[in-house]
Amino acid sequence: MDTLECIKTRRSIRKFTEQSVPRKDLEELIEIARWSPSYKNSQPWEAIILSGNKKQELSKTLVSLLEADKPNKPDLAAPTSWPEAENNRIKHLLAKRKELTGIDLGAPEMIIKAKKANFNFYYAPHAIYLFQDASLSDWSLFDIGLFAQSLMLAAHAKGLATVPQAFATDYAAEVKKALGIPSSKRLIIGLSVGYPDMESPVNGYRTERAEVGEICRWLE
């Protein structure tokens, strides 16, 4: 697949087939993503790939923490407010999703349902957690974001699908404990990985983007 087409056609997938991905293909995602640029080539990224029982056990733990009303505590705090332009785009996304699926992601009971789906990694056969040393600067957050995008693009180019999930980091301490990640690390993002089920209406919506003129100015 052409690079430009790959960037433009990648999308978050939230329904996967049951087919698991061969280990060598998952390994290749990391092999490609590690070529991402980083501040002074510091490469501030580490990954854990979960499959099978280990993934299921973690999902069970996360769902039970939610059901026990345990307050969430991600290492990167969830935003509590947004500037106007970004907020309008979020509202637009929620309205579109509601229109197309009937699901109101703003309703409290739907938030619980959505969290459970996230904690189950949308029933994908694999999950990937990305983390890095907690003492790193904001530049390293930038770098690991680049790594995540490279990984998602590599997956898409290989016919695989992903969705990045901040929700998967809700119970950061418990995830780190379960996966043997030292508490000196910060959990950045979880991703579901597998083959896309393109028959599912959940995967039918292509998110929109602000026009170039809205986000870019020319000075000459």
Ligand X SMILES: Cc1cc2nc3c(=O)[nH]c(=O)nc-3n(C[C@H](O)[C@H](O)[C@H](O)COP(=O)(O)O)c2cc1C
Nearer of residues 120 and 220 to ligand X, judged by Cβ: 120
Q: Between the CA of residue 182 and those of 26, 132, 133, 177, what are the distances in Å?
A: 23, 10, 9, 7
Binding mask 67-106 toward ligand X (x if CB under 6 A, else -) reads: --------------------------x-------------
Considering the rule CB under 6 A, would residue 207 count as an interface residue with ligand X?
A: yes
Q: Which residues contact 127 (CB under 8 A, 6 or more apart)?
A: 49, 50, 51, 55, 58, 121, 168, 190, 191, 192, 193
Part in contact with ligand X (CB under 6 A); list of ranges 17-25, 63-71, 165-173, 195-203: 165-173
Examine residue 128 and tell whether it contacts ligand X (CB under 6 A). Answer: no
Tell me the closest approach of the beta carbon of residue 22 to ligand X, in angstroms: 25
Does 51 bind ligand X (CB under 6 A)? Our answer is no
DSSP letter for each residue of 73-107 = --SSPPPS---HHHHHHHHHHHHHHHHHH---TTS
Identify residues 177-196 at the interface with ligand X (CB under 6 A).
189
Q: Which is nearer to ligand X, 211 or 220 (CB)?
A: 211
Among 166, 178, 179, 202, binds ligand X (CB under 6 A): 166
Q: In what order do the strands lie in the sheet with 185-194?
A: 46-51, 126-133, 185-194, 161-165
Closest CA to 151 of 127, 171, 167, 135: 127
CB closer to ligand X, 89 vs 158:
89
- Of the residues 44, 164, 194, 196, which one makes contact with ligand X according to CB under 6 A: 164
CA–CA distance from 183 to each of 75, 78, 169 (Å)? 10, 19, 14
Closest CA to 65 of 119, 122, 114: 119
Q: Which of residues 2-21 bind ligand X (CB under 6 A)?
A: 11-12, 14
Residue 163 interacts with ligand X (CB under 6 A): yes or no: yes
Binding site for ligand X (CB under 6 A): 11-12, 14, 93, 118, 163-167, 189, 207
